[in-house]
């Protein structure tokens, strides 16, 4: 009894601590007055403008350069939240952080029937994976939403194999796959383990019906003008030429061990103890997990991607761990293995969590936000946007450009989009140069003491190019210097 009690208490404590740490970080970032990622404000701005009927996807040769490669449901989710709560930096982060909370709740819900030990181990493992993948797991980008969808998939897979459960799975998985694909194009890969399980449990007709439901769900947003599919497909095709990265592949392979090794350790040694159905289902999930992980390697190793692409697999791994825990004949040994796994994953997450915590520059972010608001107030009849300068430090200050968008200012150029597109061969078009020359926006804010639009991006390329800079300097002049931004106004 004592042999089982000690690891049980340890698992509960580790789960509570890991969930507490993740919650503290998530809530802190929610109320943090700025952003840490260049892509976050792009998603937020496009979603906010969607409420006024502005298109999300534009042609690659359009003068306005704001289109990103994410699917329509990412913007629809954020727009729905904005419609209810209004627009602000905090509200823009709410969907992503809420998705993380929902995902962890679903992990606990999926294993509630196996008892507190199973719930604690599943939560401790998933919270550790969340910590290892910070800050991507608290951003408003697709991965956390897919993470929640996969966690919901585990719940569906646990339903009884009766007629009612089959119907719910067909509709449920169809909706989840459709929404996930509407977040990121390759997201159906994450549901491959469930697809194998469904094929053997519910039959091929159920799988076909699930695909039909998924296709209807993914197609629906594209019936609206805001989401022109051809524009998105054109951009995806151009960006698909990103080079492969051997270093990126090695890193992704290394991080895949956090998923593959626990699944193997908890299933293979105990599979002979399972009944025939349980063994079949567990091995199908395990085989599907390994196959799907291998398929994700390709997009994950591309420049700009990374090991966080594997994060949505965590709920499936947790389900396999719990299956192994329930089937082991040596409960003491398997419990201690669970304790070691939970400790290891969460201890390895500590440096990542500390690094994120140090990256939160509360004083600077607050000052930048207040200065943007003050400049806007001092030019009440002018349209204002924020552009990049020539330094990385100043570039981070431009992330708060959504403050202006929320107040109705234009949104014509987004550096995060232009960084990606120009790095992979989609140069600034003459129409964009003409746009800046025509002073469509009255005032541009540029990070203080930096050369406007003169930054070599993370990929090493000249983001905007000399023709754009020449046009900007011909059209605008610096009229004011503040602490964080220089104010450039149209000369005419």
pLDDT per residue over 257-270, tens digit each?
999 999 999 999 88
Q: What is the reported pTM? A: 0.95
Among candidate residues 351, 352, 333, the one with its CA nearest the CA of residue 341: 333
Tokens of 218: 């993914």
- Token pair 């076909």 is at which residue? 208
Q: Bridge partners of 462? A: 456
Element (H, E) at 225: none
In eight-state DSSP terms, residue 408 is T
State pLDDT tens for residues 79-118: 999 999 999 999 999 999 999 999 999 999 999 988 899 9
At residue 246, the pLDDT reads 86
**pLDDT at residue 163, rounded to an integer:** 62
Alpha-carbon distances, residue 162 vs 110, 154, 156, 167, 279 (angstroms): 18, 17, 12, 9, 19
Task: State how far the Cα of 130 lies from the Cα of 144, in Å rounded to an integer.
Answer: 9
CB 332 within 8 A of CB 117: no
Question: What percent of the chain is helix, strand and coil (3-state, nearest 5)?
Answer: 70, 5, 25
Which residue from 212, 167, 188 is spatially nearest to 312, judged by alpha carbons?
Answer: 188
The Cα 373–Cα 215 span in angstroms is 44
Does the structure show a pLDDT above 60 at 203? Answer: yes
Identify the pLDDT of residue 338: 93
Q: What is the largest CA-CA distance in the chain?
A: 83
Comparing 63 with 246, which gets the higher pLDDT? 63
480: helix, strand or coil: strand
- H or E stretch including 428? none
The closest of 432, 125, 469, 137 to 307, measured between CA atoms, is 137
Judge whether residue 399 has pLDDT over 50.
yes
CA distance 388 to 457: 11
Contact of 400 with 44, CB cutoff 8 Å: no
Look at residue 320 and give its three-state secondary structure.
helix
> pLDDT-derived band of residue 1, with 50, 70 and 90 as boundaries?
very low
The answer to whether the CB of 300 falls within 8 A of the CB of 306 is yes
Percent of the chain scored above 70 by pLDDT? Answer: 98
Q: Do residues 400 and 37 touch, judged by C-beta distance below 8 A? A: no
- The structure tokens 């897919």 sit at 146
**How far apart are the C-alpha atoms of 339 and 322, rounded to whole Å?**
13
Mean pLDDT value across the chain: 93
What distance in Å separates the CA atoms of residue 396 and residue 491, rounded to the nearest whole number? 27
Tokens of 363: 């004083």
Q: Can you give the pLDDT at residue 206?
A: 96
**CA-based nearest residue to 251, from 317, 312, 297:** 297
386, 441 in Cβ contact below 8 A?
Answer: no
Over residues 5-37, the pLDDT tens digits come to 888 999 999 999 999 999 999 999 999 999 999
Give residue 422's pLDDT. 87
Cα separation, 254 vs 248, in Å, equals 10
Q: Select the more confidently predicted residue: 256 or 327.
A: 256
Residue 441: Cβ within 10 Å count: 23
Q: Can you give the pLDDT at residue 329?
A: 54
pLDDT band at 424 (very low <50, low <70, confident <90, very high): confident
CB neighbours of residue 113 within 10 Å: 11
pLDDT value, residue 2? 47
> What integer pLDDT is reported at residue 452 of this predicted model?
97
pLDDT at 327: 77
Which structure tokens are listed for 303?
């420049």
Q: What percent of the chain has pLDDT over 90?
A: 82
Given a contact cutoff of 8 angstroms between Cβ atoms, the answer to whether 77 and 144 are in contact is no
User: How is 112-167 classified by DSSP, letter by letter?
Assistant: GGG-HHHHHHHHHHHHHHHHHTTTGGGSSSHHHHHHHHHHHHHHHHTS-SSHHHHH
């Amino acid at each position: 009894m004592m042999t089982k009690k000690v690891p049980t208490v340890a698992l509960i404590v580790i789960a509570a601590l890991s969930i507490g740490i993740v919650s503290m970080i998530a809530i802190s970032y929610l109320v943090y007055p700025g952003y840490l990622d260049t892509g976050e404000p792009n998603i937020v701005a496009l979603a906010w403008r969607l409420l006024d009927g502005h298109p999300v996807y534009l042609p690659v040769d359009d003068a306005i350069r704001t289109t990103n490669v994410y699917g329509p449901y990412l913007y629809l989710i954020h727009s729905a939240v904005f419609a209810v709560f209004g627009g602000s930096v905090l509200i823009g982060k709410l969907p992503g952080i809420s998705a993380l909370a929902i995902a962890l709740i679903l992990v606990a819900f999926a294993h509630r029937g196996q008892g507190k030990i199973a719930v604690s181990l599943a939560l401790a493992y998933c919270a550790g994976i969340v910590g290892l993948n910070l800050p991507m797991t608290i951003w408003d980008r697709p991965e956390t939403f897919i993470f929640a969808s996969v966690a919901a998939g585990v719940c569906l897979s646990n339903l009884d194999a009766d007629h009612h459960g089959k119907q719910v799975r067909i509709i449920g998985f169809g909706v989840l796959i459709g929404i996930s694909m509407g977040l990121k194009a390759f997201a159906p890969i994450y549901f491959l383990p469930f697809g194998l399980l469904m094929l053997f449990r519910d039959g091929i007709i159920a799988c076909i019906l699930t695909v039909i439901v998924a296709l209807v769900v993914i197609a629906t947003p594209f019936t609206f003008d805001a989401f022109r599919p051809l524009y998105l497909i054109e951009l995806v095709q151009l960006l698909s030429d990103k080079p492969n990265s051997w270093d990126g592949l090695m890193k992704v392979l290394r991080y895949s061990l956090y998923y593959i090794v626990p699944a193997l350790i908890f299933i293979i040694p105990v599979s002979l103890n399972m009944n025939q159905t349980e063994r079949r289902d567990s091995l199908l999930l395990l085989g599907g997990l390994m196959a799907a992980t291998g398929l994700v390697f390709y997009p994950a190793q591309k420049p700009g991607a990374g090991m966080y692409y594997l994060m949505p697999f965590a709920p499936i791994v947790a389900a396999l761990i719990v299956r192994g825990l329930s089937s082991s004949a040596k409960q003491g040994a398997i419990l201690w293995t669970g304790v070691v796994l939970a400790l290891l994953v969460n201890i390895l997450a500590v440096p990542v969590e500390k690094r994120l915590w140090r990256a939160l520059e509360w004083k600077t972010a607050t000052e930048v936000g207040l200065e943007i608001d003050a400049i806007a107030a001092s030019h009440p009849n002018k349209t204002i946007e924020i552009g990049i300068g020539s330094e990385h430090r100043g570039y981070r200050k431009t992330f708060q450009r959504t403050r202006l968008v929320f107040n109705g200012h234009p949104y014509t150029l987004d550096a995060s989009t232009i960084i990606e597109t120009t790095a992979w061969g989609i140069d600034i078009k003459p129409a964009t140069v003409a746009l800046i020359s025509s002073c469509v926006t009255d005032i541009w804010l540029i990070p203080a003491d930096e050369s406007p639009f003169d930054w070599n991006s993370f990929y090493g390329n000249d983001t905007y190019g000399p023709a754009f800079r020449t046009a900007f300097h011909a059209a605008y002049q610096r009229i004011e210097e503040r602490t964080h931004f220089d104010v450039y106004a149209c000369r005419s």
